[in-house]
Structure formats: structure tokens, C-alpha cells
Structure 1
């Protein structure tokens, strides 16, 4: 049996030294909650995700400014203009004097950004360049789930048919 003194000492240690975080999931995030519930060691799983994220530079420390040179319109500028909230961010894009704000978008909405850029008349060196820029905005700037090098590697590995299929599916 554990003595009362030991219980008090353990409780004092927990209060003074240990840190605790509570995570709440909205009904929209039920898939996240269900995935976590499937993990046999939830604490270990979360800590490993954090360690992996720290090794990548931290997803909340995503890039907030990005520029690329188009084939015909000069520099295209993309900036994160708002705080990360509800898994979304605000972006502002400038092309040859034209300016557009995108409110509360996530990586899945990055194709909307690229479509607007294309409608502004921006030409890319090719579909691979377009794919890279769309995925850089989505995965590096918005979601923070990839590095620039990972996107470069994935772009290099894409087949011409895969690129054509992506363009047909996502670009107006």
C-alpha cells in the first residue's frame, strides 16, 4: 500500500513539474478524433507527431511569404495574411498589379489560388511547375505538412500522365 506521504509527494510533483494539454475536437474534426482513438498509445503517438514535426521545422512555423517568377508576368507574390485558425489561413496573392485575398483556406483550396493566378494570365514553364507551385502553397504555406524539398522530389517523380490528370482534375 502507498503511504499518504508518498501520494502527497507524487501529487505535488505532478502539479509543480508536469505539463498537461487538453485537446478538443469539433464535430467537423471527428475523423481526427477517431484516428487518435484507434491508437493504442495515444500519448506516445501525439509526442511522436510533435517530434516528427519539430524535425521538419514545425508546421505552425510554415512559410508566410513566397515568390516565384512566371514565364510571362514577372514575379508572383503569395503571402499568409491571417493567423492559423480552424485549420485554415488567409492568403493574399499579387500578380502584375492585380491583388486577390483568399479567406480561411486550407491546403485543399490551394487549387483555387492557382486557378486565379492562371485566370490573371500567368503562364508557367509547364504543368510540372504549376503542380509544384500549387503544392508548395498547399503543403508548405497552408498545411505545413511538407518541406520544399519534399515537394520538389514529388514533382520530379510525377509522370507526364500524372501531371496531365492533375491539371484536368483541378485546373479550370
Structure 2
């Protein structure tokens, strides 16, 4: 496995209720196989309302939502007022190309270890939260392929507390790498 340069945790957030945004916190506790302690999306099986309606028994590959702080900086620079936690993320990182990581990448944050499962698929709620935001986090490449920039999802392999300022160490999975797809 290859180690990459470290980034850092910028902010952490959680919400006990199913709401679009999460509240910033001093720290969050990640629970192995479940997600963020006390967060509405924690669980072995899927907790996202639309996915529960489809099949409540499917595994929860969306236990933790991460966004790179540089995206929030870019959105604010373009006139979209968005702060950490407001797009529903649990962890905002700085200095890491989260969207460029392959599936199966392990992120070591504080004492916790996450495994990246895929891309967040932004829905209409994001546009309802802030008009223009959906278009800002979706795009197309030169081949017409949809590009999702609203963060990545992960599962918790090893639990522990995570707080702003913690280093994030990236460990890539063995080759061949698989590109992230929506989960």
C-alpha cells in the first residue's frame, strides 16, 4: 500500500435528526461499522430516507460524509454562501484531493480509520438549500460524463474521536485502483 501526503481535518459536524445541514462540533466519535455516534445517518443498514424507502436492508455505505474545504472556499468565492456542515458533511478536510481518491482508500483521522466507498450523489435538496448550489457541484467533463463534486462517502473501520486539526493520512488500496462511483 502507498502512503500519500497528509492533509488535516478542518471541521467536524453531526446531527441527531434527518436534516440537510449538520451542526459543527468540537469533536465527533466514530463508531466502527456504524458511523458518527448520535448522527441520524449512523447505522449498519442504510439510513438515508430515499434509500430506506427503496430497500431498508441494504448496507450503509454512507456512514460518514466528507467534503474538502477547498470546495467550500470555491463556492463562497463564486457567491454561494456555504459553511462547513451546511452541505450535510460530517468531516471537512483541507489539503486532500478527496474526489481523486480510489474506492477502498483508507483515511486515518486521529484514532479512527475510514474506508472510502464512493461519491455523494447530490439531490434536489442541495438546490432547495441554496439556489445555484446543485449546478455548482455538478458538471460534465469533455466527454459529457457527469462529474460529482459534493464530497465522498465512507464507512468506519476503526472507531475513535476526530476533531479539527487532526492529521489525515491516506493509504491507497492495492492496484488496480477503482474510480469512485456514486453510492
Shorter-chain TM range is: under 0.3
Determine which structure has more spread, i.e. the larger CA radius of gyration: 1
- Provide TM-score, normalisation by structure 1: 0.26
- Provide TM-score, normalisation by structure 2: 0.25
Of structures 1 and 2, the one scoring higher in RCO (CA 8 A, sep 6+) is 2
* Structure with more of its chain in helix, by fraction: 1
* Structure with more of its chain in strand, by fraction: 2
